[in-house]
Amino acid sequence: MQPGLRSGKLTKWKDERGFGFIQPVDGSQEVFWHISEVKDVTRRPQENDTIYCHCVVASDGKVRACNAFILGARNKSASFQAAFWMIVIIHHIA
């Protein structure tokens, strides 16, 4: 498994149980995703969403998504805050 941000399609989502599976675009094995790992979103996940996440191998050997977000459903105010602080930091360094 390659480190870094990965993307894939949400192929199964059990909203009532708060978990689903992501099929990475690179064709590697399906990745388990729990609702607790959804970050900075404006709505609940839905099947066929494009998901960006980092993947980790759990102690049971299964690959799990963490720090995930849904393409097109990010909280704009949080994204704005991140951009604002990046500008402040860059200005302070320069």
Specify the CATH number of the domain 6-93.
Answer: 2.40.50.140
| pLDDT in the model for residue 34 | 95
pTM: 0.74
Residue 36: strand, helix, or coil: helix
Is the Cβ–Cβ distance between 38 and 22 less than 8 Å? no
Counting beta carbons within 10 angstroms of the beta carbon of residue 9, is it exposed (0 to 12), middle (13 to 18) or buried (19 or more)?
Answer: middle
Query: Nearest 5°: CA angle at 48, between 51 and 18?
Result: 70
Inform me whether the pLDDT recorded for 9 exceeds 90: yes
| Per-range mean pLDDT, top range of 62-66, 72-76, 82-86 | 62-66
Element (H, E) at 91: helix 76-93
